[in-house]
Amino acid sequence: VSVDSPTKQKFSPGIFLRYDCRASEEELMRIETQRLTLRLENPFTIAHGTTTERQNVLVRICDGERTGVGEAAVVPYYKETPERVINALTDPAVVVALGDDARLLHDALDRLPPSESTAARAALDMALHDLWGQRLGQPLYRLWGLNPARAPVSSFTIALDTDEAAYRDRLRAAPPFSLYKIKLGSGAWQTDLDIARIARETTGAQIAVDANCAWRADDALQIIPRLAALDVAYIEQPIGRDDHDGWRALRDHRAADWPPLMADESAQNAQDVLALNGLADGVNIKLAKCGGLRAALGMVTLARQLGMRAMIGCMVESSVAVTAASHLAPLVDFADLDGNLLLSNDPYRGTRVINGQIHLPDAPGLGVNPVAE
C-alpha cells in the first residue's frame, strides 16, 4: 500500500492500511455482513439429504454512494458454515483489498486475500461486480456484451420422493415450466428409472436428471440408455465426485443417442474442467463452487474452448445469488436458476423466471432490490 498523503501519517500502521485510499473517513469503502435464514416452501430431498432451511450470509460493500450486494451459499455438503463464511468476510485484509475506485474491479478481486471459503469469495465477487456495474451504469450482461434473448430456458427442480402419490402431487403442484430437473438417487437405479418415467408422464414436459453422485458406473450404464429413450435433456453427475474411472467407463460405452452427461460435484473450478476434458460432455457451473462471476466466466470460456457444454446452476439461494448467476445465462446451453423460487422468504427481487423464461433485469449492476418490508 503506497503512502501518498502526508495528512494520513497520523494514523497507526494498522489503521493506515484501511484508510489509505480515502481523503476523509466518510468516503471509505465499507463492508457489512448479515446472516440470512432462507426457508424452503417444501422440504427438499436429494441424494445428499433433506433440507427445510438454509443459513446463507449476505455481504454489502458501500463506496459512499452505491451499495453492492453479494450472497454466500452455506452448503453443508461442501463443508461451509455461516461462521466460516463470516470469518472470511470480516478478515481485515478484505476491506484493504476493496480499494477506492469501483471501476477497477479486477484490481480489487486480485487483492482479495486467499480464503478456504469459496462461498465467501463468491459473495465478495458478486458485491464487487454489482458495485462495478452500478458505477458504470449498466447491467452486468450489457458490460459483457451479451444478448439477454440468448439465455436458454431455466429448468425447475423437483426433489426426490419415493412415495408415488406424493411425488405425483408434487409434480402437479410445480409451476408451469417446459423443462423439469428431477433429482434421483433413491438407492436403486430401477426405482430411479420409475421415478423418471412418472415425472415424464405426469408433467408431459421434457425432463433433465440429476443423480447427485448416486450411481456406481455399472448402475449408470444400466439406467442411462433407458433415460435416453425418455428424451432426457441431460444427465447431471451420474457418478461419484472423484470417480474419474467411472467417467472413463461412461465415455468408453457412450452411445450416440445418450443425452449430454454434465459434471456438477466433479466440476468445482477450472482445474476440474481440464481434468474432465474428454470425459464429461459438459459442466454445471455455480458461483458458490468456483468463487464468483469472474471464475465462472473463466470456466465457461475454458469449457467452450475444450468443446464442452456449459450450464449455469445455483444452490438454495435468494434472488441475490441467483440473479448474479443469471447474468451468465446468455453464454450457456442449460440453466437451472430456481433456487430462489423454492423459498418462502426471498428477501430480494431481481431476475424473474416465468414459465422457464429468464428475464434479466435492466437496472445497473446485478439489478437486485430488497423486497419492501
Q: Which is nearer to Mg ion, 130 or 264 (CB)?
A: 264
CA 132/CA 200 separation, integer angstroms: 43
Rounded to whole angstroms, what are the CA distances from 209 to 193, 255, 291?
10, 18, 25
Residue 183: Cβ within 10 Å count: 24
CA 128/CA 109 separation, integer angstroms: 8
Nearest-approach distance from CB 59 to Mg ion, in angstroms: 25
Nearest-approach distance from CB 97 to Mg ion, in angstroms: 31
Strands, DSSP E only, in the chain? 30-46, 49-62, 67-72, 156-158, 179-183, 206-210, 235-236, 261-263, 282-285, 309-312, 334-335, 348-349, 352-354, 357-359, 369-370
Nearest-approach distance from CB 117 to Mg ion, in angstroms: 20
Q: Which is nearer to Mg ion, 285 or 320 (CB)?
A: 285
Residue type, 133: G
Q: Which is nearer to Mg ion, 161 or 210 (CB)?
A: 210
CA 348/CA 371 separation, integer angstroms: 5
Q: Which is nearer to Mg ion, 167 or 334 (CB)?
A: 334
Q: Return the bridge partners of 145, or none.
A: none
What length is written for the chain? Answer: 373
Nearest-approach distance from CB 255 to Mg ion, in angstroms: 23
Nearest-approach distance from CB 262 to Mg ion, in angstroms: 8
Nearest-approach distance from CB 176 to Mg ion, in angstroms: 22
Q: Which is nearer to Mg ion, 33 or 326 (CB)?
A: 326
Nearest-approach distance from CB 214 to Mg ion, in angstroms: 11
Nearest-approach distance from CB 182 to Mg ion, in angstroms: 11
Rounded to whole angstroms, what are the CA distances from 48 to 75, 186, 212, 265, 287?
11, 11, 7, 11, 19
Rounded to whole angstroms, what are the CA distances from 9 to 36, 93, 95, 100?
39, 20, 19, 18
CA 10/CA 30 separation, integer angstroms: 21
Collapse the DSSP code of 322 into the 3-class scheme (helix H, G, I; strand E, B; otherwise coil) and give the result.
helix
Nearest-approach distance from CB 110 to Mg ion, in angstroms: 30
Closest CA relative to residue 321, chosen from 25, 42, 119: 119
Name the residue number minimizing CB distance to Mg ion. 264
Q: Which is nearer to Mg ion, 80 or 236 (CB)?
A: 236
CA-based radius of gyration for the chain: 22
Nearest-approach distance from CB 236 to Mg ion, in angstroms: 5
CA 171/CA 200 separation, integer angstroms: 10
The grid coordinates of residue 25 equal 473517513
Q: Which is nearer to Mg ion, 22 or 241 (CB)?
A: 241
Q: Which is nearer to Mg ion, 59 or 217 (CB)?
A: 217
Q: Which is nearer to Mg ion, 33 or 237 (CB)?
A: 237
**Footprint on this chain of Mg ion (rule: CB under 5 A):** 210, 236, 264
CA 202/CA 219 separation, integer angstroms: 25
